[in-house]
Chains A and B, each alone.
Chain A
Amino acid sequence: MFKFFLLFFMIISNSFSQLNIKFEKYVLPNGLNVILHEDHSVPIVAINLWYHVGSGREKVGKSGFAHLFEHMLFQGSQNVEKGDHFKLLQDAGGTLNGSTNTDRTNYWEVVPNNFLELALYLESDRMGFLLEAMTQDKLDNQRDVVKNERRQNYENQPYGMASKVISENLYPPDHPYHWLTIGTQEDLTNATLDDVKDFFREYYTPNNASLCIGGDIDPKDVKKLVEKYFGEIPAGKNIGKVKPAIPVLAENKYLLLEDNVQLPRLYISWLTEPHFTDNEPALDILADVISRGKNSRLYKSLVYEKQIAQDVMAYNNSAEISGSFTIVATAKLGITLKQIEDAIYSEIEKIKIEGITQRELDRSKNELEASSVYRLQSVGGFGGKTDQLNRYNVFKGDPGYFNKDLARYRKVKPDDVKKAASKFLKQTGKVVLSVVPKGKKELQAQ
């Protein structure tokens, strides 16, 4: 009897180990969500602040605002001179950054534990007292910086404009996923100081923010400091929930882009579903099964056996408003994108008919489980524990969604993956983009 129990327990613990991330959540009267997480392994504190606004809240003609705004938040506030935000935190031995995507903007600092108050002071000053210090000069300067960011990461990168073309064709012009988070050069040029200020007043309010503080902290002290610095900031107006909007793509759009590249590359994109919906786990696992590791279907077929592709990858990008599934493959010299396209479809159709094996599914789940443990090593920064707690809080209202999220993936069966492939990776209803070297149109798909 005892033996049986022991064995049973071991099996359970092996395949269903739980992540244990303790936290405390409360809400200030002004609506600010606060999450505290203790981790005393290193004497550091991580501050992670999410504003529930990304390029998905932007309007036509005002693209790039959320991201331009992120830059403006590092330009000083009423009590902080330009340059001092960085200077004070780096002088404290801290590190800091921020980022913007379609759905949220995040800001973070990691500092030695004796500088927590400084970090909260700085974050609160730019939440409550930013506009007083915003000037045309600062806006002009950061607009130039962002234009350089766009040149560096898009215009001067091989295949750099592919994501723009795909978004513009998956989504109609009035859908906020139609444009890139970085915006267009034209909209950036047209952004006025008033536009930017309006954006701040609307979205940079405590009731639209989630503040996670993790690391070597004493929650009692931290609560007092949070109250001191954030408590007095008035709530803004109510912000409506973002509603999912998945457009219909009834046809196949074949597109061509000539670029300064040596090798042609093919992108195939389908619309899927927003994040945390029922099909997301099966779609993520499908992406894994077809492109993660050397035994994945597409890698094995295109890169390993046929050797017609230099690389291949697939990902399901489920976000707040909508989602898309994309396969990207770079052709070897002398190979056309038509050959690549055919080889990809033949593998996809196989999955639609035969499904995937239990081994493929287990491999993917095991890898997912291991990754979720590996990800717990950092308390701060992009993807650290404070960032993960905020993500679950902002999108699910529950910072502790870790194990529920894992459970969604654990219950996926081979047949779910097969069904997801049939349902979403349709023969008709996709964007197929060929990026070819200049003057080599003949290499395109179709």
Chain B
Amino acid sequence: MKIIKLILVILITVGTMQSQIDRSKKPVEEKPPSFSLPKIQKGVLSNGLKLMLVEQSELPIVQMQFVFQIGATYDPANKSGTFNLMMRMMDAGTKKRTLLEISDEFTFLGSRFSSNTNYDGSFVSVTSLKKHLDKTLEITADILQNSIFPEAEFTRIKNESLTGLVQQKDRPEVIVGKVFSKILYGETHPYGNPADGTEESVKNISVEDVRTFFSNYIHPDNATLIVVGDVKMNELKSLLEKQLKAWKNGKNITGDIPSVKVEFTPGIYIVDKAKAPQSQIRVGSIGVRRNTPDYFALEVMNMILGGAFNSRINWNLREQKGYTYGARSSFAYRKEAGPFSAGGGFKSSVTDSCVYEILAEIKKMRDTDVTVDELEFAKNSLVRGFPRTFETLGQIAGYLGSLVLYNLPDDYYNSYIKNIEKVTIKDVRAVSEKYLLPDKMAIVIVGDVELNKSALEKLNLGKVNILDANGKQLE
């Protein structure tokens, strides 16, 4: 009774108004909307280039992405970063145009060109207003067929890359990721080498390396062109035939990405950043390939563990304890097993508690079943949220890119919702037991060693190793 009175008094003093509607009842969903996936049209050019098109005519924009089935895992030993450097300077000059001319022409059209690489593939992305599609394609075709990688540009861009690598040392969230990969995969598997290389490895790359990679691998037989936007198949095909007819096939890629062996030593690895106000922490191990049959159960499991704001890890460490601005977990699905990691940036003085709590959440996920509510939340969030991820041209192109890169069937996304809905509490538990191995995890921290070392040792999680920013052992 007293409590009720007290509440009343407080309500009155803050001048609450009485709502005219019953706000204690939350609106329930109406009938779910029908949603059909964008239709994929396929074609082949006379030179063999495979084509995928999704027509979207709401805006006069066309987005194109050339997906090459080769990336940083093919970098030569001691020259990691070669693919990255080649892609990065692909628009540095052709037989017809200089670097500055290319940049001037694209900007004048309002067209965007970018080229980059990751472990699994390499990508040339171009966005253009419809009215400038022909001209934009002409310049793009010139780059794809006639890039010459001028010596002077190579020297300058290589130097820029090296300076960029030096600058990365300033960014704890970058260092922690690179060191984490190195601990997990070592130096023998390509996933342990950064796609953009190291200072040492980039120094070894010559202009000949880059030219050889370009002439060996940037060819239609190795690529799929994804187009999304305001263009019809016949119109697109004739434009492409005009511009890309002379683009010839090259060397077929041989050899697969080596499969991953788990060989790392679990324990704590710290890179010192004296007086850092935050510790960047990654806890994890080697995860799984993109085309695993466990994919859907893992997506649901990770949504509960650390995939969203309301997931266990963020709820505990941010909303309950106030230790962080945000903590998440994720699986990096690649052609081979990419890493699983959980972490974020955490207040320095509670580094040990954060490591402990993250591991505790991982253990709990493995040792106990998730609740019905949690399962429903995760599935709803994924299923109901699916349509909105097909809004922009870039989002659609990204989905098609995954089909191509990971060799998934064309109707893969049609069964996505069905596959998520099938996941049970048992399935979640099974993938937790299979992939979350808290006793065999690496804990990588970029933070203040002096402040945290002894507290971390007391956690009894194996040896506390001190490393430099390149991941080399210091003691």
Contacts and interface: CB of A to CB of B under 8 A. Distances in A.
A367 B391 CA distance: 23
Contacts of A153: 325
B60 A132 contact: no
A88 interface: yes
A79 B26 CA distance: 9
Contact of B322 (A148, A155, A310): A148
A370 interface: yes
A121 interface: yes
Given A93-B384, A148-B322, A148-B345, A370 B391 contact: no
Interface in B104-138: 104, 107-111, 127, 129, 131
B381 interface: yes
Contacts of B163: 263, 310, 332-333
Contact of A128 (B14, B19, B56, B170): B19
Contact of B164 (A113, A151, A310): A310
B34 interface: yes
Contacts of A151: 277-278, 325, 345, 347
Given A93-B383, A262-B170, A145 B23 contact: no
A147 B349 CA distance: 13
Contact of A234 (B17, B127, B171): B17
A117 B28 CA distance: 8
Nearest to A122: B26
Contact of A158 (B26, B103, B170): B170
Contacts of B16: 78, 129, 131-132
B308 interface: yes
B372 interface: no
Interface string A319-343: 0000000000010110000000000
A121 B21 CA distance: 11
Nearest to B160: A310
Nearest to B391: A42
Contact of A156 (B24, B156, B172): B172
Contacts of B170: 158, 260-262
Interface string A116-143: 0110010001001101100000001111
B464 interface: no
B391 A41 contact: yes
A330 B35 CA distance: 48
Contact of A148 (B30, B61, B273, B323): B323
Interface string A77-100: 011001100111011111100000
A277 interface: no
B346 interface: yes
B9 interface: no
Nearest to B130: A373
A289 to B, nearest CB: 11
Contacts of B30: 114, 117
A157 B172 CA distance: 8
B256 interface: no
Candidate in A125, A149, A216, A294 with the most chain B CB atoms within 10 angstroms: A294
Interface string B423-458: 000000000000000000000000000000000000
B392 A378 contact: yes
Interface string B385-413: 11110111110000000000000000000
Interface string B144-174: 0000000000001001100110110111100
B107 A90 contact: no
B263 interface: no
B309 interface: yes
Contacts of A147: 347
A108 to B, nearest CB: 13
A93 B385 CA distance: 4
B100 A300 contact: yes
Contacts of B59: 373, 376-377
A42 B392 CA distance: 10
Contacts of B323: 144, 148
A415 B420 CA distance: 60
Interface string B289-316: 0000000000000000000111000010
Contact of B100 (A42, A83, A115, A295): A295
Interface string A162-202: 00000000000000000000000000000000000100000
B80 to A, nearest CB: 21
A125 B33 contact: no
Contacts of B11: 132
B100 A90 contact: no
A90 B315 CA distance: 14
A379 interface: yes
Contacts of B325: 145-146, 148-149, 151-153
Contacts of B468: none
A198 B320 CA distance: 25
Interface string A353-396: 00000010011001101110110111100000000000000000
A443 interface: no
A363 B104 contact: yes
A141 B347 CA distance: 13
A238 interface: no
Contacts of B381: 90-91, 93
A397 interface: no
Contacts of A244: none
Given A112-B32, A294-B100, A87 B377 contact: yes
B384 A92 contact: yes
15 contacts: A41-B391, A78-B16, A83-B310, A86-B308, A90-B308, A93-B387, A118-B28, A121-B26, A125-B23, A144-B323, A148-B322, A152-B325, A152-B345, A262-B166, A373-B60
Interface of B: 11, 14, 16-17, 19-21, 23-24, 26-35, 56, 58-61, 99-100, 103-104, 107-111, 127, 129, 131, 156, 159-160, 163-164, 166-167, 169-172, 273, 276-278, 308-310, 315, 318-320, 322-325, 345-347, 376-377, 380-388, 390-394
Given A94-B384, A300-B100, A370-B111, 6 more contacts: A92-B380, A131-B14, A152-B345, A158-B167, A307-B159, A332-B163
Closest 10 A-B residue pairs measured CB to CB?
A: A93-B384, A370-B110, A144-B322, A43-B33, A158-B170, A93-B385, A117-B27, A294-B103, A149-B325, A151-B277
